Each structure stands twice: as C-alpha cells, then as structure tokens.
A and B are shown apart, each in its own frame.
Chain A
Amino acid sequence: MENISIRAENVTKKFGEFTAVDSLSVEIRSGRVFGFLGPNGAGKTTTIRMIVGIIHPDSGRIEVLGSSSPELVQNKIGYLPEERGLYKKMKIVDQLRYFAALKGVSRSEIDRRIDYWLERMKLLEWKNKKSNDLSKGMAQKIQFISAVLHDPELLILDEPFSGLDPINVEFLIDIVSELKSQNKTIIFSTHLMETAERLCDDILLINKSRKVVSGTLRDVKSSFRKNIVALRIIGGEKVLIDKSLVARLEENSDEKRVFLAEHADSQLLLRRLINDGATVLKFELVEPSLKDIFIEKITDPGD
C-alpha cells in the first residue's frame, strides 16, 4: 500500500453564493507527480489553497502529510502560487532568507541552500541585486527557489509554466524530474496538456468545481473509449464526412486526426477508405492525448 500524501474527502468550498469546489475527493500518492488539470475557474487554485492551508473547506476533510491541520505541516510543504510576486525593492538574498526562515530552515543552512539554488538556476550573480532589476523570467526562477529552499516533502506548483519561455519550461521540467527522483511528491496545476502529459504520473481533471476524472495517466487514457486514427491520405473525403464513422476530424499541417464515432470500428474505416479509392499513406491507431481527453470531457461531461 503506497503512502498517501494527501487525502481529500468530499471537500466543498463556497464563496458566498458561488461554489468553487463541490464534494471533491481524491487521494494523492507520495513520491509521484500529480497533475491538477482543468480550465480556468474550475476550482484548481481553490483546492490547492485548501491543501496548503491558506483557506479552509466549508465541509469535508483534508488530510495533508498525515495531519488534518495543514498549518502544522506547513514547513514540509513548498508552494508556488499562480499569482506570484517579490518584494519590490529588496535584495534577492534577503527575500529568500526571509521565506526560508519562515519555513523553519535553520540559520546555518539558509545561505548554503540559497547559493546552491541560485547556482542551479544560473542566477548567482544576481544574489545581491534588487528584485526590480530582474527580468520576468528571472523573477519566476527566484519564486521557484523560494518554494524549494526548505527542501519540502510536498511541492505544490500552481500554473508553474505560465509565462515561461520554452527553454525555461524545459529547465523547469528537468528540475521537477530531479525532485521526483528524490522521492518528493509534486503536485502541479496547469491547463497546458502537453506538458502535463510528459510529467504526470497521476492526474485529476476538474471542471466547474467538480471532479471529472482521476487516476493514473495510463488508466485515464485507456479508459477513454474514443479511438483516434492518425491519418495521412490522398482522397477519401466522402468517407471522412460519414458521421457514423467519424465523429470529428482534426486537420493538422501534415496529417489528419480522425476521432472515430461511438461504436465505430477503425478497421471498417480503413476498408471504406480503400474501397473509395483513397491512397492511404499512414493509418495509425493512437492513444488519445491528454488534450483530447480534456476537450472531450469539458465539452461533453456525460461520460
């Protein structure tokens, strides 16, 4: 039985009339990367804030790292909020020292860790500069450092990739992988499906305050009954518009993606295309991507 880092049972949170999170239940296993996925306004940030202990559920239970009061384990949790900032006219090193001290890092350790991480992020020479001297990308790296400085068991990143250029996205993915290999539990929320697909072991898809689907990435993908065919073809248009076979057609620059209709058989499609005289260059059954699942589930929640 694997360790459970976080256990949420029927957690609900309302703000006045608005329900942000509705009866959410989830178990997050330790040592794995967990993806909180969903569109904006779905309830991801609210759920995360409850895990971190910033706000409290109206009903239901949340247990984090074995404690039902997140405040008791705050020192073991690293949090990078979605909307993030730094003190405007303060030196980087002073800010990091403050954040680390608040998380209980001992005085002797703080400077060593700050140097390590600044080095790792290639920002060592900015140590004594003020935060308004930094570019946005650099500032985000500093913010990330503040979330990991105290070597937390549980790392929670809310939309960590937003605003990062592709190089820095890769950089961040590397670091996350490294942290995972150190047996840390990592939760991140994002609406960037491609990135989530690369990193997550387990996912939870949330929409309009409710859980849509959850489980390991593998399970979720395979339970998704839609078949998708990657198709490169010349001709066959008549077949492709047959709604009994093709639910949706996605045109990309060099190939099409055919979303088979309910109960349609991929082999039947192939036969029909050939019979129609099309030249088939590529016909491959592919797994749905997370993005496909996302779009499907969000637009058609009854599945």
Chain B
Amino acid sequence: MSKKIFVVIKHEYRKIVLKWSFLIGTFLLPLMGILLSLIPVLVFSIKVEPMRLVIADPTGKIKSKFEKALNKSNSEGFSDLENESTESTQERREKRTPVADFILVDYSTDEKDEEQIQRELKAKILNGEIDAYIIIPRNFTDTSAKFELYSRRAEDVLLNSVINSALNRAVRAERLSKTNISEDELMSLMSKVNFSVKKISNEGEEKEGGSYFGVGFFIALLIYITLSIYGQTILSAVLEEKETRIAEILFSSAKPIELMIGKLIGVGLACLTQLAIWLFSALLILLFSLPYLLAKGFQIPQISPAAVILYLLYFLIGFFTYASVFALIGSAVTNMQEGGQFSLVPVSLMLVSFYLCLVVIRDPNSTISTVISVLPFSAPLAMPIRIIAETPPIWQIGLSMIVNVAAVFGIIWLSSRIYRVGMLMYGKRPTLPELFRWIRES
C-alpha cells in the first residue's frame, strides 16, 4: 500500500460528506424516527366527531353510573383496576385530552319491550339521528350478561374501548353497592405489589435491570439502518466508476486493491462521521433533558469504556463485512438495476441478522445466542447486544473477533479479485462460473 490509498480515502470521504445530501440525511433520519414514534400519539389525540350514544337502560339503575364512568374513562384512561389502585400510578396519571366527545341522547324505554327498543334504536341509527346504542340487559350484574354496542362507527377501536371501560366501571360500581365494600376499600384491596427488577451481573453487582431491551434493540436498529444506507452508497459509487469508464483511468493510476480498500475506508469514515454527529446530538439532548428524565425515574444505562471500544470494533467489522459485499456486487454487475437485485442478498443477510438479534435480546447467554454472536454477518449486530446485557466471557469475545476479522479479510480478498476484473468488463453480467474464473485468474 502506498500513500495513494490516502488519496482515494480522502476523495471518497469528501465525495460523500461535502454534499448537501449528507447534511440533509444526517438530520432527516432522526427527524423521521421522531415523527414515526409520534404517529401513535397523534393518532390517539385526533379529535373525531362527537358520538351520539343512547344508553337504553330498562332497569334504570345503571345509566347515571355509566355517564360518570364514561367521563372518567374518557379523560383518565381505560380502567384497569390493578393499575388504578397503585398509588404512584394514580399520582402520575394526568388528565389528558378526552378521546372524543360523547353526546348522551335521551331515550325512554318505558313500556317498551326488547324487540321494540331494538327496532326503534336501529331505525334511529339508520336515519342518522344517533351513532350508537347499548341496551343494558336486565341481569347486568351477572357475569353472563352480554353487553352489545350497536354502532355505525364500529371501526373506531378507541371509542369502543372507552365505552367498554365505562361499562366495566359502572357495572363494578353497581356490584359493589350490593356488598359492604366501598370503592376506596376496593382500591386498597386490589393494590398491586411494588415490583422492581435488579440484575446480578457476573461480578455480583446489582444494577437496575430492564432498560437494556430498549437500548439493545435501538443499537441493532441503528446499525441495520446505517449499513443499509452505506451499502447502497458503496454500490452506486463502484457502479458509477464502472459505467462511466473512469475505472480505466483509475486502474492506470493505482493498484485496484488500493482503489477498493480506499473506497471502503473513505465511505466508512463518512459513515462514522454521520454516526458521530447523531450520537453527539443524542448526548446533548440527553444532557439537557437529564433533570427532567431523572425526575421521571429514568435510569441511565451504565456502559463501560471497554464496551464502547468493543461496539466500535464490531461496528467496523460489520461495516467492512457488508460493504465489501456491496463493492463486489457493484463491480460484477453492469447497471444499477442488476445491482439492486443482487443487493437483496446482503440486505436479506442483514435482515435475518437483525431478527436473530431479537433472539439474543431475550436470552443473551443461550447457546444459540453465542453462535449468533460468533458467526460473521450476524455477530456485528448480536455481540454488542450481548455486551450490554451481560458481558460474555472473554474467550467468546475473542473467538468472535478472530472469526470475524478473518472473515473480513477473506471477503475483501474475494471482492478485490472480482473488482480487478469486473470493473473493466462492460458487456454482459458474468455467470457464476465466469466469476470463479475471474477469482482464479487474478
């Protein structure tokens, strides 16, 4: 390797980083992530049209309880008795925007039998007077009683849940009134126990458990997304040089292996730059919101410096493993379309590795997790997760490193053989036997 490789690295790095698309992408992706996570919130807070509801209560006993319960369920969340009774959750639950406005339409059930009530109410729905009705069964405190909501807006699961929750509360209140237990007594009877999880690590330390799932998942996702984007980048960069025939001039100026490795490193550095920007901004946000988060009981996951170094190493391994495959594809195909088709191979590998990570998250120390964290292609995603959860034995990390680094060298070697020949072949895409010949001939 001469210093020409640095020329290539610098060129490739600047080609990516000095474009507007880099800056936009750096800010766009987290923005999209935030938006996507906000969608559920948005969905829940959209104000829909008020629902005109009839509660036909021939018994006359439950209607008022239902009205009260409806308000509660609407603005305080669906009733889950166990959750409701815990003190801390009660404190934490703030009033939120009502899911919808309910208009309770009066309807008299006097002197009417079931059939008639059904008919009349159904007619009211059909002619647009009301949106929904419930006919309270006479035996409404029995557990066998069926409550059916007839609704023209049956698809709005939120509304249905509010009504369901209100019914639960109302019927419960009625049942309670027949006993000697008040609502408050009931609450304390149903109190949940105070339950928390503490992890015993290999060193016997106690740590807060539970937050690692999120972090592990997040890291795997981050690596996955980054590798996808930059894999594409390498593919199109290689293909551009092939299609424009620039490869001929480049090959007459430097050794093909220098060109290829320079490209991988240059793009890799650009990728790291982007990740660094993201992590840095995430840290800033974290720092600013720290007081707020701590008050809410947020635990800072503890990550040792050694772990960070290992993450970096595994990220690099993952990058070079997948990027070399993309470079191989770029130099073997003849246009972007073919390139896209064959990209499915590494992309599928990435996807499978990502799903395997979920296995690892659930049981980091099982045999299968160990295997997943040693095999090339899957290790770069899986091992960091295991390290967060519980540092695996050194020998496993060592083995994984050796296997993966060897794999990286092997794949780069393979790719460079194909790169040498493929970049100058402009005609048909090579068949598999031809590919093997290229590898041998080089």
Residues of B within 8 A of A52 (CB): 252
Q: How far is B245's CA from A104's CA once the two chains are assembled, in angstroms?
A: 21
Say yes or no: A54-B251 contact (C-beta < 8 A), given A83-B426, A98-B11: yes
- From residue A59, how far is it (CB to closest CB) to chain B in Å? 14
In the complex, residue of chain A having the shortest beta-carbon distance to the beta carbon of B242: A85
Say yes or no: A102-B424 contact (C-beta < 8 A), given A54-B248, A85-B246, A88-B244: no
Say yes or no: A102-B253 contact (C-beta < 8 A), given A55-B424, A83-B426, A90-B15: yes
- From residue A117, how far is it (CB to closest CB) to chain B in Å? 16
Q: How far is B374's CA from A277's CA once the two chains are assembled, in angstroms?
A: 98
- From residue B2, how far is it (CB to closest CB) to chain A in Å? 9
Q: How far is B14's CA from A94's CA once the two chains are assembled, in angstroms?
A: 10
In the complex, residue of chain A having the shortest beta-carbon distance to the beta carbon of B6: A101
Q: Which of A71, A79, A87 contacts B248 (CB 8 A)?
A: A79
Q: Is the interface of B mostly helix, strand, loop or mixed?
A: helix
Q: How far is B11's CA from A77's CA once the two chains are assembled, in angstroms?
A: 21
- From residue B431, how far is it (CB to closest CB) to chain A in Å? 12
- From residue A286, how far is it (CB to closest CB) to chain B in Å? 40
- Answer yes or no: A5 CB below 8 A from chain B CBs: no
Q: How far is B252's CA from A85's CA once the two chains are assembled, in angstroms?
A: 14
Whether the Cβ atoms of A81 and B249 lie closer than 8 Å is yes
In the complex, residue of chain A having the shortest beta-carbon distance to the beta carbon of B12: A98
Whether the Cβ atoms of A102 and B4 lie closer than 8 Å is yes
In the complex, residue of chain B having the shortest beta-carbon distance to the beta carbon of A89: B19
Say yes or no: A86-B244 contact (C-beta < 8 A), given A54-B424, A98-B7, A102-B4: yes
One digit per residue, 1 when the CB lies within 8 angstroms of any chain B CB and 0 when it does not, for chain A 50-90 equals 00111100000000000000010011010101011111101
Name, among A49, A85, A87, A104, the residue most crowded by chain B CB atoms within 10 Å (CB to CB).
A85
Whether the Cβ atoms of B252 and A77 lie closer than 8 Å is yes
Say yes or no: A74-B254 contact (C-beta < 8 A), given A87-B240, A101-B7: yes
A-B contacts counted at CB < 8 A amount to 60
- Answer yes or no: B67 CB below 8 A from chain A CBs: no
One digit per residue, 1 when the CB lies within 8 angstroms of any chain B CB and 0 when it does not, for chain A 143-156 equals 00011000000000
- Answer yes or no: B57 CB below 8 A from chain A CBs: no
- Answer yes or no: A103 CB below 8 A from chain B CBs: yes
Residues of A within 8 A of B246 (CB): 85-87
Q: How far is B241's CA from A53's CA once the two chains are assembled, in angstroms?
A: 18
- Answer yes or no: B8 CB below 8 A from chain A CBs: yes
- Answer yes or no: B36 CB below 8 A from chain A CBs: no
Residues of A within 8 A of B15 (CB): 90
- Answer yes or no: A283 CB below 8 A from chain B CBs: no
Say yes or no: A85-B253 contact (C-beta < 8 A), given A54-B424, A55-B424, A102-B4: no
Q: How far is B243's CA from A49's CA once the two chains are assembled, in angstroms?
A: 18
One digit per residue, 1 when the CB lies within 8 angstroms of any chain B CB and 0 when it does not, for chain A 242-253 equals 000000000000
Whether the Cβ atoms of B249 and A99 lie closer than 8 Å is yes
Whether the Cβ atoms of A102 and B244 lie closer than 8 Å is no
Q: How far is B255's CA from A146's CA once the two chains are assembled, in angstroms?
A: 18
Residues of B within 8 A of A83 (CB): 245, 248, 426
Residues of B within 8 A of A16 (CB): 437
Whether the Cβ atoms of A102 and B248 lie closer than 8 Å is no
In the complex, residue of chain B having the shortest beta-carbon distance to the beta carbon of A143: B249
Whether the Cβ atoms of B252 and A74 lie closer than 8 Å is yes
In the complex, residue of chain B having the shortest beta-carbon distance to the beta carbon of A51: B252
- From residue B252, how far is it (CB to closest CB) to chain A in Å? 4
- Answer yes or no: B349 CB below 8 A from chain A CBs: no
Whether the Cβ atoms of B253 and A74 lie closer than 8 Å is yes
- Answer yes or no: B307 CB below 8 A from chain A CBs: no
Whether the Cβ atoms of B253 and A87 lie closer than 8 Å is no
- Answer yes or no: B250 CB below 8 A from chain A CBs: yes
Residues of A within 8 A of B14 (CB): 94
Say yes or no: A146-B426 contact (C-beta < 8 A), given A98-B7, A102-B4: no
- From residue B264, how far is it (CB to closest CB) to chain A in Å? 17
One digit per residue, 1 when the CB lies within 8 angstroms of any chain A CB and 0 when it does not, for chain B 117-143 equals 000000000000000000000000000
Whether the Cβ atoms of B252 and A84 lie closer than 8 Å is no
In the complex, residue of chain B having the shortest beta-carbon distance to the beta carbon of A150: B253
Residues of A within 8 A of B8 (CB): 102
Say yes or no: A88-B240 contact (C-beta < 8 A), given A83-B426, A101-B7: yes
In the complex, residue of chain B having the shortest beta-carbon distance to the beta carbon of A103: B253
Residues of B within 8 A of A81 (CB): 245, 248-249, 252
Sample (29) of A-B pairs whose CB atoms are under 8 Å apart: A49-B424, A53-B252, A54-B251, A55-B424, A75-B253, A79-B248, A79-B252, A81-B245, A81-B248, A81-B249, A81-B252, A83-B245, A83-B248, A84-B245, A84-B249, A85-B245, A86-B244, A88-B244, A98-B7, A98-B11, A99-B253, A101-B7, A101-B11, A102-B8, A102-B250, A102-B253, A102-B254, A103-B253, A104-B4
Residues of A with Cβ closer than 8 Å to B?
16, 49, 52-55, 71, 74-75, 77, 79, 81, 83-88, 90, 94, 98-99, 101-104, 146-147
Q: Supply 18 further A-B pairs (C-beta < 8 A) apart from A55-B424, A79-B252, A86-B246.
A: A49-B248, A49-B424, A53-B251, A71-B255, A75-B253, A79-B248, A81-B245, A84-B245, A84-B249, A85-B246, A88-B244, A90-B15, A94-B14, A99-B249, A102-B8, A102-B253, A146-B249, A147-B249
